[in-house]
Amino acid sequence: MHVGRLWPITLCVLVGALMLVSCRSMPAGTSTASPFHPLNNAILLADNTAVDAQGQRHIEQEIFDYTFRLIEQAEQLVLLDMFLFNDFQGPNPETHRALAQELTQTLIAKKAAQPELPIVVITDPFNTLYGGISNTYLNQLRTAGITVVLTKLTALPDSNPSWSALWRTCCQWFGNKADAGWLPNPVGDGKVTLRTYLALINFKANHRKTLVVDEGDTWTALITSANPHDGSSAHSNTAVVASGPIALTVLQSEQAVLEFSAPHVLTQTPWPAGTGPEALEQQLSQQQQDTSARIQLITEGAIENALLAAINSAEAGEKLWLEVFYFSHTQLQRALVKAHQRGVEINVILDPNKDAFGREKNGIPNRQVARKLHQAGISVRWCNTHGEQCHSKWLLKQSKGEIELIMGSANFTRRNLSDFNLETNVRLIASQEEAVIRRALALYQSRWNNQPFEGAQGERHYTVPYEAYEDNSRWRRFLYQVMERTGWSSF
C-alpha cells in the first residue's frame, strides 16, 4: 500500500480513539456520594509548618503519628490507599521525615506480629514511574506477605485526550521494564525508559489518601490530604478520622478500586465478618437519619457537586473559608465571585505554587486564579512556604445554624473534581460546638491570622498578604488557561 494512503486510515484510527477516550465513564462504585451517617467520635488532625519572627521553620505534625497508631492497634483488617508512597526527592531534598520507610516498617512489623491479619495497600503506578523503576518499599511489603495493588489507571477517563488517544492506540501495548532505562529519572536518581515519559504525560492518578482499620468494637477511617512521601514530609496537611458506618462506606469505596484494578484480591482476601454490604445496610437501617452532626463520603465528581452546592447556597452574612494547594476550577471561581457579590464573606488561602520537591515553579495556576479573585474583591492570602508545600484542600461554610466542612484529597481543579482522578473527601455538617468543627475553625483562623495553633510557643507566620506573590503576567495567564482547558498540565 502506498504510504500516502495510510494517512486517512491513521487519522480515522486516532479520531476514533479520541472519541472513545472522551466518552469513557468512571468505573462502577466511583464518583459517588454516600448517605449521611452520624458523626461518631470525629477528630481533625493537622500538620502545620510555619516560620517564627527570626525566620526559623517550625514543623508540628499529627497525621502520620495517628496513622501509625491506628495500624498498630488493628486486629481484623488494615486497608490503605495512598497516592505517593516513595522517597523521591528531586535536586534539593526537602525531607523532614522518612515517611515511606516509617510506614513500610510499621506495616511489616504489624504483619510479623499477626501473620493472619489482612493488610491491603493500594497505590498509584507513579510510585514505580509506571513500571520504569523498582520501588523498594512496595517490594518489601510484598516480601512480607502484604497485598500491594497498583491502580489500573487505564480504567479511568483521560484528562489529556489529545495525547491519551495516541498513547492508548500505539504506546500502552509495549508495557515497561524496571531499571532498564536510558533517560534521566524526572524525580530522582537513576534512569527510566521512554515508556515512563509516554505514560507520565497522560496526567492521571489514583490521588486518594485513606486508611480503614478496626478499632476496638468499631471501624475507623482516616481521610487526608497527606502522603507517605519523604519529599512531602514537611508539607502542611489536614485529616479527618471518623468511626462507624462512614468507615465501612470508605472500605466499600476502596473495594470498588480493587474491583477494576485487581479483582482477585476481593475473592482471595479474608475480609472480616461485618464489613460486607449487608453489614453496612444493617447499620444504615439502625442509624438516626435526623442527627444534627453528620458525615458523608464523597468521591470524584461528587466532590465537585458538594463544593458548588456549598458555595452557591451561601447567603449574605455567611462565611466561606478555603485553603487549597491547587485551585484552577473555572466553575468554582465563578461561584465564589457570585457569592461575594451576594454579600458572602470569603477568605481564600492558596499555596504560591513556587516549590515542587526541590524545583522552582512558575506560580501556575494559583497566582492567576488569585488575581481574578482579588480583583473581584475577595480576600486572598498565601501560605508562607519555604521549600515545603501548603498541601491542604478544604472548605468551611459558616451558616447561621451549622458549619459545613469539606476536605480530603481533592485539589480544586478540573482533573481532581471532574471525574478524571480518583479522589476521596468527606463532608461534615454540625454545629460549632462539635469538637471536630471547633478545631477546624481554630486551625483556619490560626493560619489566616498568623496565630500559634493550640498553644505552640512563640510567633508563627503561616500566611503572607496577596501582594507577596501577585502576578500580572499576561503570558502566564494565557498559559494557565491553555493548560487547564486542554489537560496538558500536572494540576
Q: Does 150 score more than 60 pLDDT?
A: yes
pLDDT above 70 as % of the chain: 91
Phi, psi angle pair for 72, to nearest 5°? -65, -30
HSE of 227 in the Cβ direction (CA atoms, 13 Å)? 25
- Other beta carbons within 10 angstroms of residue 366's beta carbon come to 29
Grid coordinates representing 136 are 523498594
Asked if 388 contacts 357 with a C-beta cutoff of 8 angstroms, the reply is no
Q: Quote the pTM value.
A: 0.93
Q: Does 13 score more than 60 pLDDT?
A: no
Asked if 291 contacts 298 with a C-beta cutoff of 8 angstroms, the reply is no
Tell me the per-residue pLDDT of 101-135, one tens digit each, with 9 for 90 and over. 999 999 999 999 999 999 999 999 999 999 999 99
Q: Does 3 score more than 60 pLDDT?
A: no
Scan for cell 460486607, then name that residue: 276
- Under the banding of pLDDT at 50, 70 and 90, the label for residue 289 is low
Architecture of domain 26-268: 2-Layer Sandwich (3.30)
Asked if 241 contacts 222 with a C-beta cutoff of 8 angstroms, the reply is yes
Tell me the per-residue pLDDT of 62-86, one tens digit each, with 9 for 90 and over. 999 999 999 999 999 999 999 999 9
Q: Is the dihedral of CA 445, 446, 448, 451 positive or negative?
A: positive
Tell me the per-residue pLDDT of 42-54, one tens digit each, with 9 for 90 and over. 999 999 999 998 8
pLDDT of residue 53: 86
- Please compute the mean of the pLDDT values over residues 247-263 and round it to a whole number: 97
Higher pLDDT, 286 or 27: 27
Domain 293-486: give its CATH superfamily: Endonuclease Chain A (3.30.870.10)
Terminal alpha carbon distance of the chain? 43
Tell me the per-residue pLDDT of 30-46, one tens digit each, with 9 for 90 and over. 999 999 999 988 999 99
pLDDT of residue 357: 72
Q: Does 17 score more than 60 pLDDT?
A: no
Containing H/E element for 328?
Answer: none
Tell me whether the CATH fold assigned to 26-268 matches the one assigned to 293-486: yes
Give the pairing type, strands 183-184 and 147-150: unpaired
| CA gap 62, 64 in Å, rounded | 6
Q: Does 2 score more than 90 pLDDT?
A: no
Tell me the per-residue pLDDT of 201-225, one tens digit each, with 9 for 90 and over. 999 999 999 999 999 999 999 999 9
The mean of the pLDDT values for the chain is 92
Q: Provide the residue ranges of all domains of the chain, joining segments of one domain with +.
A: 26-268, 293-486
Tell me the per-residue pLDDT of 363-392, one tens digit each, with 9 for 90 and over. 999 999 999 999 999 999 999 999 899 999
Nearest one of 295, 248, 286, 288 to 434, comparing CA atoms: 295
| CA gap 322, 345 in Å, rounded | 11
**Strand partners of residue 424:** 299
